[in-house]
Every structure is written in C-alpha cells, then in structure tokens.
C-alpha cells in the first residue's frame, strides 16, 4: 500500500516539519553544501559556527536531542566540542 502524504502540495517553510537531514562534519575551511534550517547534536558541547549572516560565534553548552533553529553556512572544527551533528532541512 502506498504512503499517503496529505501535505505534499504545501510549501516547506521554516515553521513546517523537518523533511530531510544530513551529517555535519566540522570543517574550518569549507562551507556546508546545504544551509540547514536547524541543527541537532547527539553529544553535548559547544558549537563554533559561521551563521548565514557571516557572523562567527560559539554556541555554548548545547544539549543532545534539542533542535536548534540555527541557519549556518559552516561548522568550525576549532572550538566545536559537540558531537553527532545533524543538519535538518
């Protein structure tokens, strides 16, 4: 039996449900291939990021399993201690 998607005709927006995701490997030199709408971590720690605006900052003490609505272009390896990073789109 095929899966029914009652919301297939709706546009995906920042307030809608997450529809995809990817693993993030922190990298000091390269941007992510896709800007996520949110990030989740599996292991607690700090996240050092470059936001979509170009601002660089450290987001301290992230908690595992929480969906953080950060739009980032890069997750820096220097200063990032959180593990199991997921980009959510």
Domains contained in the chain, number = 1
pLDDT at 63: 98
> Domain for residue 52, yes or no?
yes
pLDDT at 35: 97
pLDDT at 26: 98
> Domain for residue 68, yes or no?
yes
Domain that holds residue 75: 28-88
- The CA-atom distances, in angstroms, between 75 and each of 5, 18, 28, 43, 65 are 33, 20, 7, 15, 18
> Domain for residue 62, yes or no?
yes
pLDDT at 19: 87
The answer to whether residues 47 and 62 touch, using CB atoms and an 8 Å cutoff, is yes
CA 28 from chain centre, in angstroms, equals 16
Per-position pLDDT tens, the chain of length 89: 788 887 777 777 777 788 899 999 999 999 999 999 999 999 999 999 999 999 999 999 999 999 999 999 999 999 999 999 999 99
pLDDT at 5: 81
The answer to whether residues 86 and 24 touch, using CB atoms and an 8 Å cutoff, is yes
Q: What are phi and psi of 63, to 5 degrees?
A: -100, 135
> Domain for residue 5, yes or no?
no
């Amino acid at each position: 039996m095929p899966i029914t998607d009652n919301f297939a005709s709706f546009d995906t927006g920042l307030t809608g449900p997450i529809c995809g995701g990817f693993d993030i490997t922190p990298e000091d030199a390269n941007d992510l291939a896709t800007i996520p709408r949110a990030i989740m971590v599996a292991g607690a720690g700090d996240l050092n990021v470059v936001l979509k605006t170009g601002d660089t900052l450290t987001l301290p003490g992230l908690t595992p399993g929480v969906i953080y609505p950060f739009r980032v272009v890069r997750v820096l390896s220097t200063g990032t201690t959180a593990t199991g990073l997921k980009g959510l789109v």
